[in-house]
């Protein structure tokens, strides 16, 4: 699969893939099952652990550290707090890597020996599995004040505010993808999540069988992003599990939503779980770092 997305299909194979994606997105199976409260609590615990990890590691970042070292710190934090299991491996992207520049294939997206510089924007992305429940978050920081990054994060917070309304509307998931894409470009940014495998704006989260120990993974290409167990779960659900431009299936269930935008030299994203119920759509938790930090900035500005 080529990296990126164009509105017009690129040849016959692309047309066939888009047709298959659209048809298969209707076959949701158990992916849209609405979880009971205890299940939501399990995902909330996993998401909060994920945020604890990225915030903790963000404070340990130093000039000269590599992406691999930052990813290892994330993995060690999770291990020290009771889990070695994950939906996907820990990611750390520095500088232009935070907008996926220089990447030619999906194997390039894994943490590298890229060295952190003081003005680099950093994205940390981690997805622990806690007692079988998946959490998946993305967090954007910089070692020094970065006006462009803060502007981008403000734009992302507006998307965060609007996304539950969009999921609660009659729009298909694919129409939501295309509208977010339009809004990103109208604001002068690049759509970086269009460079993800299957160009996903998000994916479903679910529970896997609780186990101890590490997950296995296959290779280092797109399948290597995810553990073997979660790859198998995604295959079972099919493309209904991914929020792509072709998705026309039902939206009910739990989604990890991850809009990712870029500008010259940097990128920013957030990722958190959206709960979609009949007649109600809401974020699993509003006490998340990017929201709390924005409130703190607003309070400080008002005080001045």
The answer to whether residue 5 sits within a structural domain is no
- On whether the CB atoms of residues 193 and 177 are closer than 8 A, the answer is no
Give the per-residue pLDDT at 225.
Answer: 62
The answer to whether residue 132 sits within a structural domain is yes
Of 23-27, 88-92, 212-216, 248-252, the range with the lowest mean pLDDT is 212-216
Distances (CA, A) of 170 to 22, 99, 167, 173, 179: 17, 31, 8, 9, 13
What is the rounded distance in angstroms from the CA atom of residue 20 to the CA atom of residue 290?
A: 36
The answer to whether residue 266 sits within a structural domain is yes
What is the rounded distance in angstroms from the CA atom of residue 140 to the CA atom of residue 121?
A: 7
Give the per-residue pLDDT at 219.
Answer: 54
The answer to whether residue 2 sits within a structural domain is no
- Judge whether residue 302 has pLDDT over 90: no
Instruction: State the DSSP string of 85-140.
Output: -BSB--EEEEGGGGGTTT--SGGGGS--SPBP-TT-EEEEEE-BEETTEE--EEEE
The answer to whether residue 3 sits within a structural domain is no
* pLDDT tens figures, 76-133: 999 999 998 888 889 999 999 999 998 888 778 889 999 999 999 999 999 999 999 9
Give the per-residue pLDDT at 211.
Answer: 73
* pLDDT tens figures, 23-36: 767 776 666 667 77
Top pLDDT among 215 and 182 is at: 182
- Judge whether residue 1 has pLDDT over 70: no
The answer to whether residue 235 sits within a structural domain is yes
Q: Give the structural domain span for 278.
A: 12-303
Provide the number of structural domains found in the chain.
Answer: 1
The predicted model gives 229-251 an average pLDDT of: 78
Per the rule left: phi > 0, alpha: psi between -120 and 50, beta: everything else, 28 is: alpha
pLDDT-derived band at 43 (thresholds 50, 70, 90) equals: very high
The answer to whether residue 7 sits within a structural domain is no
Share of the chain above pLDDT 90, in %: 63
Give the per-residue pLDDT at 12.
Answer: 80
Please name which of 144, 213, 216, 151 lies closest in space to residue 187, comparing C-alpha atoms.
151
What is the rounded distance in angstroms from the CA atom of residue 122 to the CA atom of residue 95?
A: 6
Q: Assign residue 135 the CATH number of its domain.
A: 3.90.230.10
Please name which of 169, 168, 166, 230 lies closest in space to residue 203, comparing C-alpha atoms.
230
pLDDT-derived band at 218 (thresholds 50, 70, 90) equals: low
DSSP secondary structure code for residue 288 in this structure: -
Give the per-residue pLDDT at 17.
Answer: 65
Q: What is the mean pLDDT of the chain?
A: 88
What is the rounded distance in angstroms from the CA atom of residue 12 to the CA atom of residue 70?
A: 41
* pLDDT tens figures, 163-206: 999 999 999 999 999 999 999 999 999 999 999 988 899 999 98
What is the rounded distance in angstroms from the CA atom of residue 55 to the CA atom of residue 287?
A: 13
């Amino acid at each position: 699969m080529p990296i990126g997305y164009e509105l017009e299909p690129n040849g016959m194979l692309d047309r066939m893939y888009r047709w298959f994606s659209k048809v298969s997105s209707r076959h949701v199976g158990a992916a849209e099952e609405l979880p009971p409260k205890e299940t939501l609590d399990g995902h909330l615990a996993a998401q909060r652990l994920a945020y604890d990890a990225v915030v903790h590691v963000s404070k340990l970042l130093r000039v000269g550290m590599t992406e691999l070292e930052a990813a290892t710190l994330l993995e060690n934090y999770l291990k020290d707090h009771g889990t070695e299991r994950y939906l996907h491996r820990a990611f750390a992207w520095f500088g232009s890597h935070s907008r996926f520049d220089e990447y030619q294939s999906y194997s390039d997206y894994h943490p590298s020996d890229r060295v952190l510089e003081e003005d680099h924007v950093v994205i940390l992305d981690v997805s622990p599995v806690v007692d079988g429940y998946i959490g998946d978050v993305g967090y954007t920081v910089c070692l020094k004040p970065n006006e462009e990054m803060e502007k981008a994060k403000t734009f992302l917070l507006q998307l965060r505010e609007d996304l539950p309304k969009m999921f609660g509307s009659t729009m298909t998931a694919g129409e939501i993808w295309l509208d977010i894409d339009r809004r990103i470009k109208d604001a002068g940014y690049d759509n970086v999540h269009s460079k993800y495998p299957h160009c996903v704006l998000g994916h479903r989260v679910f529970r896997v069988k609780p186990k101890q120990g590490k997950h296995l993974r296959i290779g280092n290409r797109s399948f290597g992003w995810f553990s073997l167990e979660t790859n198998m779960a995604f295959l079972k659900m099919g493309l209904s599990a991914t929020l792509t431009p072709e998705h026309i299936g039902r939206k009910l269930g739990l989604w990890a939503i991850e809009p990712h935008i870029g500008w010259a030299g940097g990128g920013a994203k957030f990722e958190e779980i959206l709960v979609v119920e009949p007649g109600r759509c809401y974020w699993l938790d509003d006490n998340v770092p990017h929201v709390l930090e924005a409130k703190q900035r607003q309070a400080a500005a008002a005080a001045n």
